[in-house]
Every structure is written in structure tokens, then in C-alpha cells.
Amino acid sequence: MAYALREILETDLDLLREHRNRIDTRCYLGNANPVTEAQQRAWWEKHDRNAYKVVQVNGADVGLVRVTDVDDATACVGSDVFFEHRGKGYGHMAFAAACDLADERVGVFRDLARRRLVRRLKPRSLWLRVFIENERAVRIYGKAGFVVDQNATVEVYPRITSEGGALRMLHYVRMVRHHQEPT
């Protein structure tokens, strides 16, 4: 299944806000508060255009990928599939797109660091934060080579995971994938 990444457009803001504000999406975000139109607009005006992309399959917008906290060795990756496209196999593809974008962005920083000979480069890795109870996401990340970072702190958050659902305590963990550098 082929995909394309495109920049987020101003016309996407309503779709992104509606998706982010769904209880079954925001319950698995670090900040589960709903986003207002004004907050969305403020984010739009200052966000890094290279960090967030819309994923398209056959011309249809199916999800969002993000690559943040990039340096010459690491990047935080993430992806989300829009509700109406869930269960169609797009999760693996969207997350692979996020990892490809992260590898590309880290590579740019590594090339700059090599040219400047600033310091010895650290091993490359990608990381993310996820609620371990989000089994579908954890399964996708595991298949992409990510493992739970046993040295990272586990944070516990109260969440309601569905409309009218009961309050649950969810465990926010860090997962990491280390890269083997070519020799």
C-alpha cells in the first residue's frame, strides 16, 4: 500500500481538532483536554511545518504523523489514523511513514554534525510515549522494532476511554527503537 505525506493546510484544522477531541483519541494523549478553535489556531500559527504531516492513501487523508524533538541522534515519533479509516491496516503504514520521516530528519542533523565535527555522534534512536493499555498502538510499535524502555519512568494518568465509560488508571510508558549504524 503506497502512501504520500503532505503538509497540513489551514483547511485541515477543523478535521484535526475534531479528530483530536474525540474521547477515543484524546484519552490516549498525554494531554487529554479538548482543544478549542482558538487553541488550534494558536498551534497552527507556531507549529513546525516539517514536524507534522497528513498521510494520504489513494488521495484520501487517512491520518497524521509527527516527528518532534529532533537532534543528531534521536527523534520522537507518532502517528494517528483518523477514526473513519481505523481497522483498514493504515496504522502500520502511517507509523512506518512517521519513522521514515524521522530517519530523514535525524539524518539531516547528523550530516550537519559530521561536517562540523562538533563531537562524536551518539547512537541513533527513535522514541515515543504511549499508554500501554492502547494495545493496538503498542502492537504496531512492537512490530516496528520498538520496545518498552525499562529505564524510563512510568507515569499513571486517570482517563475515561469511551463516552460514558468508567474512569481507569492508564500507564504512560516510553518505547524506543535503536538503529544499527552501517559499518
Residues in the chain where the model's pLDDT stays below 50: 183
Per the confidence metrics, is the pTM higher than 0.75? yes
The domains of the chain are located at 4-178
**Paired residues of 175 in beta bridges:** 128, 148
Q: What is the pLDDT of residue 183?
A: 43
Q: What is the pLDDT of residue 80?
A: 95
4-178: CATH, from 3.30.1740.10, 3.30.750.24, 2.40.37.10, 3.40.630.30? 3.40.630.30
- C-beta separation of 174 from 128 below 8 A: yes
**Contacts by 157-164, CB closer than 8 A, 24 or more apart:** 157/32, 157/131, 159/27, 159/28, 159/32, 159/131, 160/23, 160/27, 161/23, 161/24, 161/27, 161/28, 161/133, 162/23, 162/24, 162/27, 163/23
CA distance 169 to 133: 9
Residue 125 backbone zone (phi > 0: left; psi -120 to 50: alpha; other: beta): beta
Residue 156 backbone zone (phi > 0: left; psi -120 to 50: alpha; other: beta): beta
The upper half-sphere exposure of residue 153, i.e. CA atoms within 13 Å in the direction of its Cβ, equals: 3
Q: What is the pLDDT of residue 17?
A: 96
Q: What is the pLDDT of residue 180?
A: 62
CA distance 67 to 101: 7
